[in-house]
Structure 1
């Protein structure tokens, strides 16, 4: 089951963990997002150590197809932001996924 975490939820959790005022934490978070957006719009990469990096990539013009009707249409060139997780984040995700697989396998054996 996938859960979506919002900015408000992040700010609330950060305020609890740091014991800072929620309004101050929210202001800092909003400013960080604004600075990251400005850097990306300027074509700079944003590297968040131990989390990942964001970079702007250009997508070439291409031909797309409507899967329902099969009609072709031109997709114009555009810029997009790509997130690349850090090695630390990938390792943590892999460990969590492997632990979950092992746990669910042992749950099946216990039920049988």
Structure 2
């Protein structure tokens, strides 16, 4: 049984995905299909991506998804990082989300 199936009934999930170029975070509600809020570096300008660096990009994505989800009423979530270890990008994203009002 996957982590998402175990925690599905209790509270929304903050899903974090990362590739070599982009970081994506999405808040998925307890029930239903779709996402409450999403944020990604995909729409970010290439000049901005090069200027920031990996950890700063992850922190900006975490801040953006936290602000959007808290504004929509889902401020308490659990962190679903998949197979990613809680280091570097995932840690920076989670810390930034906590600083902007999200409870993980």
Q: TM > 0.5 between the two?
A: no
- Smaller-chain TM-score bracket: under 0.3
Higher strand share goes to which structure? 1
Question: Whose RCO is larger (CA < 8 A, sep 6+)?
Answer: 2
TM-score, structure 1 normalization: 0.26
TM-score, structure 2 normalization: 0.28
Higher helix share goes to which structure? 1
Higher-Rg structure is 1
